[in-house]
């Protein structure tokens, strides 16, 4: 079959109208998921938008304008951030305010360290450390571990009581999201989450559970609630925070590699070699550190925007610059921030049911596509231990300062088991993420 013609090359500058429309398209592609993460973790959606825009611009600079990617909020850190923020409210924990941002900053440092090692040692060591039998179950833990959160948001009102109206809103939102994903084509099929949120929001207005007064009262231009170190909180390092968040970086690192491989096929250029996986990983790291420094969640490259590239065949880096600038402007718009704050929790819960299920299914898909053989006891043991420890919330506490639990503990144990159990197989880099 003949390959579709490239509409805009990576370095090609679009016409003004083309630039505007295609940039907004990329903004919409990332918008729903990027806003959902802070909504679930109690962070500011406006700050998340600004940090994603700044992070994308920094990523473009670090990768020399050669990698057309958008960086949005990472789902891998939803549970760790929620867990750390809960500890911040407990005086006995010894965890200070803003510790979740310190943890996020350390995640960015981890990406940067991995990038440095790749520069010196190549990529084979990374594939040996993170084979599908480890990464697949860890991804499943992320989705399944969040399932109770999605269900509670879809069924319980703010008082914590079962509410049939909330259930109906959640189901309608979920239905709209599913129908959009299955029956639409082109750009709409890439943004089912955003369509679901908009549809659920309109339905909520009809039912009368949305109060728009805050949107009416909000200013058009408004400073978002940034959380800046030494201004709004005093950063403090604890091993407990390090161990709760940094090991989870295993998943976004593997996800990043997969995205770069898929993106290379879409744009027909080997981005792993030029500008190099080390540069793109460093871009992720620096962007995440910047996000943490202003109160935003960790960021990662977005598959939704890669999907838009595959559909439109418009690869121009200028489109991502435009989308990033729009995201920053949206973050400073008080009306938009107020509008996002009025989205009812069952709407977010409805899309989360599908989204978290897709995350879990993506882990299963990785195992299937890489032909992980579960008739081998070694593979069965590794995946089983990761799943039970991660979903069961197992924890190791030593004193008041050392704590390793949940997904982080499962990730570390999975990596260790893969290294020590006999019969380890060498995984080919390209085959691991074969499209």
The predicted pLDDT at position 435 comes to: 41
For residue 225, tell me if it sits in a domain.
Answer: no
Per-position pLDDT tens, the chain of length 435? 345 688 899 999 999 999 999 999 999 989 988 999 998 899 999 999 999 999 999 999 999 999 999 999 999 999 899 999 998 988 878 888 899 999 999 999 999 999 999 999 988 888 788 889 998 999 999 899 889 999 999 999 988 899 999 999 999 999 999 999 999 988 888 889 899 999 999 999 999 999 999 999 999 999 999 999 989 999 988 888 998 999 999 889 988 988 998 899 899 999 999 999 999 999 999 999 999 999 999 999 998 899 899 888 999 999 999 999 999 999 999 999 999 999 999 999 999 999 899 889 989 988 998 899 999 999 999 999 999 999 998 988 877 667 788 888 999 999 999 999 998 765 555 554 444
Cα separation, 180 vs 273, whole angstroms = 37
- Structure token digits, residue 159: 């008082």
Cα separation, 41 vs 379, whole angstroms = 33
The predicted pLDDT at position 258 comes to: 83
For residue 41, tell me if it sits in a domain.
Answer: yes
Place of tokens 């611009």: 57
For residue 37, tell me if it sits in a domain.
Answer: yes
Domain that holds residue 248: 16-152+230-343+352-420
Cα separation, 64 vs 276, whole angstroms = 10
The predicted pLDDT at position 401 comes to: 66
For residue 216, tell me if it sits in a domain.
Answer: no
For residue 162, tell me if it sits in a domain.
Answer: no
| Distance in angstroms between the alpha carbons of the first and the last residue of the chain | 17
The predicted pLDDT at position 428 comes to: 54
The predicted pLDDT at position 92 comes to: 78
- Structure token digits, residue 90: 């407990």
Cα separation, 325 vs 291, whole angstroms = 15
The predicted pLDDT at position 255 comes to: 86
How many domains is the chain built from? 1
Burial class (CB in 10 A: 0-12, 13-18, 19+), 232: middle
The predicted pLDDT at position 1 comes to: 38
For residue 406, tell me if it sits in a domain.
Answer: yes
For residue 206, tell me if it sits in a domain.
Answer: no
CA-CA-CA-CA torsion sign (109, 115, 116, 122): positive
46 and 224 in contact (C-beta within 8 Å)?
Answer: yes
140 and 253 in contact (C-beta within 8 Å)?
Answer: no
- Helices 317-331 and 334-341 meet at what angle, rounded to 10? 80
83 and 406 in contact (C-beta within 8 Å)?
Answer: yes
For residue 208, tell me if it sits in a domain.
Answer: no
Helices (H), 370-405: 377-392
């Amino acid at each position: 079959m003949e390959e579709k013609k490239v509409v805009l090359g990576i370095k090609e500058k679009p016409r003004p109208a083309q630039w505007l429309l295609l940039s907004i398209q990329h903004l919409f592609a990332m918008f729903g998921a990027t806003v959902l993460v802070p909504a679930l973790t109690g962070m500011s959606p406006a700050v998340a938008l600004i940090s994603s825009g700044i992070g994308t611009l920094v990523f473009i600079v670090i990768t020399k304008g050669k990698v057309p990617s958008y960086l949005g909020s990472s789902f891998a850190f939803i549970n760790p951030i929620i867990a750390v923020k809960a500890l911040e409210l407990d005086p006995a924990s010894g965890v200070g305010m803003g510790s979740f941002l310190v943890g996020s900053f350390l995640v960015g440092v981890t990406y940067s360290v991995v990038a440095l090692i790749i520069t010196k040692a190549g990529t084979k060591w990374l594939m040996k450390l993170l084979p599908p039998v480890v990464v697949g179950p860890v991804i499943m833990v992320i989705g399944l571990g969040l399932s109770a959160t999605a269900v509670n948001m879809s069924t319980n009102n703010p008082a914590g009581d079962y509410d049939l109206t909330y259930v109906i809103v959640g189901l309608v939102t979920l239905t709209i999201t599913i129908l959009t994903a299955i029956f639409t084509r082109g750009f709409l099929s890439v943004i089912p989450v955003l369509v679901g949120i908009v549809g659920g929001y309109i339905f909520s207005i009809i039912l009368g559970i949305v109060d728009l007064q805050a949107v009416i009262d909000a200013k058009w231009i408004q400073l978002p609630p940034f959380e800046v170190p030494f201004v709004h909180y005093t950063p403090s390092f604890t091993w407990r925070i390090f161990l709760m968040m940094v090991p989870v970086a295993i998943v976004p690192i593997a996800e990043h590699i997969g995205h770069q491989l898929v993106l290379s096929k879409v744009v027909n250029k080997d981005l792993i070699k030029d500008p190099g996986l080390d540069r793109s990983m460093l871009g992720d790291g620096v962007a995440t550190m910047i996000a943490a420094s202003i109160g935003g969640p960790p960021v990662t490259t977005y598959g939704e925007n890669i999907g838009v590239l595959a559909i439109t065949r418009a690869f121009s880096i200028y489109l991502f610059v435009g989308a990033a600038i729009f995201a920053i402007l949206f973050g400073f718009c008080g009306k938009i921030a107020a509008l996002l704050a009025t989205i009812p929790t069952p709407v977010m819960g409805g899309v989360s049911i599908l989204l978290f299920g897709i995350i879990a299914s993506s882990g299963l898909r990785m195992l299937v596509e890489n032909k992980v053989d579960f008739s081998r006891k070694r593979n069965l043991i590794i995946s089983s231990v990761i799943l039970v420890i991660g979903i069961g919330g197992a924890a190791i506490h030593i004193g008041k300062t050392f704590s390793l639990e949940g997904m982080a503990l499962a990730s570390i144990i999975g990596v260790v088991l893969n290294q020590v159990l006999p019969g380890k197989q060498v995984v080919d880099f390209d085959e691991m993420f074969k499209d």
